Amino acid sequence: MAHDEQDIAAAGRSGVVNKAPDYQIGAPRRTPIANPLFEYLLRHGDDRLVLGHRLSEWCGHGPILEEDIAMANVALDLIGHASTLLALAGEVEGQGRNEDALAYFRDGTAYRNALLVEQPNGDFAVTMVRQFLFDAYSVLLWDQLSRCAHEQLAAIATKSLKEDQYHLRHSSEWVVRLGDGTDESHARTQQALDAVWRFTAELFDHDAVDEAVAAQGVVVDHAAMRSLWDTMVNDVLHRATLTRPADGGMRRGGRDGRHTESLGHMLATMQSVARAHPGATW
């Protein structure tokens, strides 16, 4: 983020937060990892919460009615996945925070989503390319996590995999349709791919959190995932007559809480009602 932690805290005090909750709203950006499984669950829960909200922004603005409904349904699926992951994260943390607390009362520096999912919707081509690149990754991730030793996470992965396979089919078909369509749709889709590609490498990074949760039975082979992802993506891009961008200049930081300014703008909207009425239930 462009602001440091002091600026963010000041903005929170002067904004819509009327009364701070009893629990900590956000952690410093470089806080040592005391609970790696909690951190791991936040990463994948935040990915789906943020992307689900991004898709929800299309509600009422889709290019056709059928697609408007389809994107809303995908958004609901992703937010449902996020809810289960964040609920489990709250249990693992053991500080009394449920999924709503984690969603609405953390600042941007405490979010652990990849930079890809927070990118603005842009036009329909940007949204579909962003969705496809994440869907291909997500299907492969759920497939591996469905066989992990953590029973609750494996159960979440097994259920989510079935829904994400539909998401991948839907987004990949749109990428092919747009890329291999008119001259204008091809040009826009190539521009979209060029714009968001630099955020993809972060999805496959392997760090100390991954090492720590692997010792707890949550093992993911990132290298194998990347190889399969490359194959899937290359096949769709070939059918879409799109050119895969070069891998140089990749952007990272989301897993450590270093985000683009787009996330802050999105969270201000997403969290406004909950922060205006802390403690309220519906």
Give me 258's structure tokens: 């270093």
DSSP state of 17: -
16, part of any domain: no
Instruction: Tell me whether residue 101 is in a domain.
Output: yes
Task: Supply the pLDDT for residue 24.
Answer: 40
**12 in a domain, yes or no?**
no
pLDDT of residue 84: 98
Residues 6+ apart with CB under 8 A from 250: 198, 199, 200, 201, 202
Q: What is the pLDDT of residues 149-161, one digit of tens each?
A: 999 999 999 999 9
CATH assignment at residue 43: 1.20.1260.10
Is residue 6 included in any domain, yes or no?
Answer: no
Number of domains the chain contains: 1
In a domain, 74, yes or no: yes
Domain that holds residue 222: 35-242+251-276
pLDDT computed for residue 43 by the predictor = 98
Is 15 domain-assigned? no
Q: Is residue 77 part of a domain?
A: yes
Distance CA 205, CA 223 (A): 9
| pLDDT above 80 for 10 | no
Domain contains 26:
no
- Residue 32's pLDDT is 58
DSSP at 245: P
In this predicted model, which residue has the larger pLDDT, 177 or 32? 177
pLDDT greater than 50 at residue 11: no
Q: Are 200 and 96 in contact (CB under 8 A)?
A: no
